[in-house]
A and B are shown apart, each in its own frame.
Chain A
Amino acid sequence: MTITPFDPGLSAAPTPQPKAPNSWKRYFSFNTDAKVIGIQYIATALIFLLVGGLLAMIMRGELITPEADLVDRTVYNGLYTMHGTIMLFLFMFPVLNGLNNLLIPCMIGAPDMAFPRLNAAAFWLVPVFGVILMASFLVPGGPAASGWWSYPPVSLQNPLGFLINGEALWIVAVALSGVSSIMGAINFVTTILRMRAPGMTLFRMPIFCWTALSAQIIQLIGLPALTGGALMLLFDLVVGTSFYRPEGGGDPVLYQHFFWFYSHPAVYVIILPVFGVFSELFPVYARKPLFGYRFVAMASLVIVALSLVVWVHHMFPSGVPQWMRDLFMVTTMLIAVPTGIKVFAWLATLWGGKLRLNTPMLFALGGLFNFVFAGVTGIMLATVPVDIHVNNTYFVVGHFHYVIYGAATMGVYAAIYHWFPKFTGKMYYEGLGQLHFLLTFIGTNLNFFPMHPLGLMGMPRRVSSYDPEFAFWNVLASLGAFLLGVSIIPFLLNLVSSLVRGKQAPANPWNAIGLEWLLPSPPPAENFEENVPTVISGPYGYGSGLPLVEHQERYPRATDFLATGQA
C-alpha cells in the first residue's frame, strides 16, 4: 500500500463546492456522480410514493363502506393494481437504490460507483418506465387491472382487443424495471467487492454494505426469472402464444412459479437493506457496538440462500402436492432463525446503552416494533393449514404492509433523517421529524392492524365490495390510511424547509463512527479524492476509543458535535 500525502485542504474546506455544474440543473441531467444519482432516485421515489399513496387513499375511501359505491369496480381493480406496482417498482426499489448510491461509496471509501455511466442509465430507466406506467391510465381500456401478480389467464383478457393496452404497458414497465435493477445490482456488487478502501476487509464493512450486497445478489439471481416470465406473458398477450393459456396447452400455474421465484426474494431485497439501516442506527443512538457483528453479517447471506427456496409458500392453495407444501413450509420457517439472530442482536445492542430518541432512532425503533409483529404473523402464514385459511385474505395484506410500510418504509424514513445532514449539508427540524414519526406510527398500526382480524374472518383481498360484517374494521383501516396521508405533510414540509433554510450541518452531527462521517457534509464529488483513508479497525467502535482509520485526527472530528451544540 502506498502512503498518500495528506491534503489539509480536505478537512479545511467548510462547504466544498462539487465540480462544474453545481446547480440544481445537475439533478435533471445524465449525471454520473453517485451522490447526485442517489438524490435523483430518492426524489423520484418520493414523488411516486405520493402517487401510490393517493391511489391507496381512494381505495380506502371505497372500502370505508361495504358497497362498491365510490368508483366503478373496473376502476377499483386498476387502482389496486397500480398501487402495488407503483409502491414496489417506483417507490421501494428506487428509494433503496438511492440509499445504496449515497451510502455504499462513502461507507467503503470509494470515490464513486464502479460503473458511473451504467449507474446513471439504470436511474434514467426509472422515469422512463414510470411514465409508461402512468400513461397506461390514459390508454383505452384503462390501466392493468389484474393485480401486481398479473396472474394469467385473467391478465391475458383484453376486452377491447387493442395491441396497446394497459396490461401490455404494465408488462413493458415491469420488464424495464427489471433491467434497471439488474444494471444497478451489477454496479453495487462490483463496487462493494472491488472498491473498498485499504484495510476495509469484508468483515470491517458496515452491516449496511453486507445487507446491500446480499440484496443485490438476490436481484442478480432472481430477476431473470421474473423478466423472462413477464416476456412470455407479453407474448401470450400480444402475439397469441400460449405459454400460459390453458386452451392452447399452456399452464397458468407455470407463471406463478416464475413470478414468485423472484417476487418472494424481492421482499428480502427490500427488507435486507432496512435491516442494514437498523444495524447502523442502533449503535449510533445507543452508543454501543453492534452486538455480534459477524453473526449479523453472515445472517444476511443465510437469508439470501433460504429466500431462493421458499417461493411455493405463496402457492399453497394453487394445487401443489402435499410434499411440496411441507418442504416449502420448513424452508420458510428456517428464515425465522437468521432473522431472529438479527432481532436479538439489535435488542442486545440497545440493552444497557445510552439511548438518544431523536427522529431517526424513533423511526428505527418503531420499524423494529412493526417488523417483529410482521415476523410473528409471518410464522403463522408459513404453516400450511393456517395459510390455506388466510391465503388471499386481508390477513396477508396486513402482514405484508407491516413489513413494507411498518418496517421497510419506516426504516427508509429513519435512514433519510439520519443521513440527511450528511448528503444535503443541512440539519432537519427535529420537532417536525418527531411529529412525522408519531403520525406514521399511529397511522400504520391503525391502517394495517385491522386487516388481520378481517382476514381471519374470511374477507378476501382485492375486493371492491364486501359483506357488512366486515365494516367495523374496514372503517378503522380507512381512518388509518387517511392519517398516513396526513403524516406525509410534516415530512415534506421538513424536507423542503430544511433544504431551503435549515442550519448548516457539521461533518458528524450524531458523533457516529463510519467513513462517511469523516467526510465533510455534503461530501465532495469524489468523496475522499486522493486521501482515501486506511481502515484499521472494525465498524461500530463505540466506547472502545479505537480510531477507525489511520491519522483519524486529521479528518473532521466527532468534536464538531460539541461545537455545534446538537443534543
Chain B
Amino acid sequence: MTSTPSRPNLPAIAGLVFWIGLLVWFSFWMGQQSFGWLPVQASSAAPLVDGLFSFETAVATFVFAGVVSVMAWVMLFNRAAKYDISDAEPIEGNTKLEIIWTVIPLLLVMGIAYYTIDVNRQIGLIGPMDHVHGDRLASDQQPASGAAVAPQAEIEVIARQWSWEFRYPGAAVSATELHLPLDRRVGLQLRSEDVIHGFYVPAFRLKQQVIPGRSIAFFLTPTREGRYRLRDSEYSGTWFAANQVDVVVQSETDYQDWLRRASRLPLQPGLSDASREYALRQSRTRPSGYATVVPAPPPMVNVPGSNTLPHDG
C-alpha cells in the first residue's frame, strides 16, 4: 500500500488529503444533522445524550464513508481485465500498518468510552437511574444513590398489563396521565404488579425497566413544557403496543393547580386501551386469535386524562 513507492507521489497525496478533508466536512455536517433525527429535548438528560449521539454520528460517518470510499475505489479501478487470470502483487502484510490500525481504533473507542462515562456521570448527577432492591428500600426509604441529595419520590408509577397509573401521595391524587413540573428534579417510584414493563419517554431520552418484586427509584428533570408519549418499552404481552399514555410537563404553578383541582375530582376508571379492546374482542361471537392474559381492570383514578391528543414527542 503506502510502503512500496520510494518517491512520494504528490498528486496522489493531494487527492487523498482533499478526499479526507471532504469526508471530515461531511462527517461534521452529519453530526449536526443528527439532532434533527431525535424527538424534541424535554429533559435535562436529553441535550447530553444528543450531544454524545451527534459526536458518534460524526465518527461513524467518517469510518463508514472511509471504508466505502476504499471499496468503491477498488471496485472502479482495481478490476481484473477481461481474460486476465494472472495474480496481483503478493503483498502479505505490513506489520507497521497493522499496528497502526490496531492502535488508532483502540484510542478512538477508548476516547468515546471516556466521553461516555463523563456523560453518564453528568446524567447520574442530574437524575440517578440506579435501582434499589425492594427490601433495602423498605428498610430505610432512601434511594441507593445515598449521599447525593435525593428528593423523596413524590410520584408512584404502577405498571400493569396494560395500563399505567400515577399516584401523587402528597396531594392524594391518582391519574392515568403523568403530570410533571417544569425544571424541577422529580423522583418517581417505579413498581410493576405483574411482568416487567419499561418506563420510556423518548423526549426525555430515559428508560428504565420496571421489575416486579422491586421498587425502583428514578429521577428526572423535565425542561420543556408540552405533551409527550410514555411508552412501554419492555415487551409485556398481548396489548404491549397499546400500553402507552401521555406525559404532561407544565409550569410549577400549573402543576400545583392541576394537583389541587384533581384532588377534588371523584374516582373513575382510568385509561386502558387494552381493556377496551379486550371487551370488543369478547363481544364477537367467535373471538379471533390465541388465548390471552385478561387485562387488569382500569385503575380507579381522579384524572383519566387523554392519550389521543396531539403530542410533541
User: Which A residues have a C-beta under 8 Å from some C-beta of B?
Assistant: 68, 71-75, 77-78, 140-143, 145-147, 151, 153-154, 157, 159-160, 246-247, 251-253, 286-295, 317-319, 321-322, 325-326, 329-330, 333-334, 336-337, 340-341, 343-345, 347-348, 350-357, 365, 368-369, 372-373, 375-377, 379-380, 383-386, 388-389, 391-393, 453, 456-458, 460-467, 511, 541-544, 561-562, 567
Contact = CB atoms under 8 A, between A and B. Distances in A.
A100 to B, nearest CB: 27
Given A160-B291, A319-B131, A319-B214, A341 B231 contact: no
Given A154-B237, A287-B87, A337-B105, 6 more contacts: A291-B92, A329-B117, A379-B59, A383-B56, A392-B235, A543-B90
A463 B106 CA distance: 37
Contacts of B242: 68, 73, 465
Contact of B116 (A290, A351, A383): A383
A345 B98 CA distance: 8
Contact of B109 (A147, A334, A542, A544): A334
A151 B237 CA distance: 11
Contact of B290 (A72, A251, A562): A72
A75 B290 contact: yes
Interface string B186-206: 000000001110101011011
Contacts of B283: none
A460 B231 CA distance: 8
B93 A291 contact: yes
Contacts of A337: 102, 105-106, 109
A388 B85 contact: no
B60 A376 contact: yes
A353 B195 CA distance: 56
Residue with the greatest number of chain B CB neighbours at <10 A, chosen from A151, A337, A372, A383: A383
Interface in B15-54: 37-39, 45, 48-49, 52-53
A296 B207 CA distance: 38
A71 B105 CA distance: 47
A544 B88 CA distance: 9
Which one of A151, A317, A458, A462 has the greatest number of beta carbons of chain B within 10 Å? A458
Contacts of A141: 290-291
B205 A384 contact: no
14 contacts: A74-B292, A154-B236, A295-B98, A322-B128, A347-B67, A354-B88, A376-B59, A383-B56, A389-B49, A391-B233, A392-B235, A464-B241, A467-B244, A543-B87
B209 A319 contact: yes
B52 A383 contact: yes
B247 to A, nearest CB: 12
A477 to B, nearest CB: 16
B120 A462 contact: no
A457 B202 contact: yes
B64 interface: yes
B194 to A, nearest CB: 7
B163 to A, nearest CB: 16
Counting from the closest, the 9 A-B pairs by CB-CB distance are: A458-B202, A246-B213, A72-B289, A142-B290, A543-B90, A376-B60, A319-B131, A463-B241, A543-B87
B235 A153 contact: no
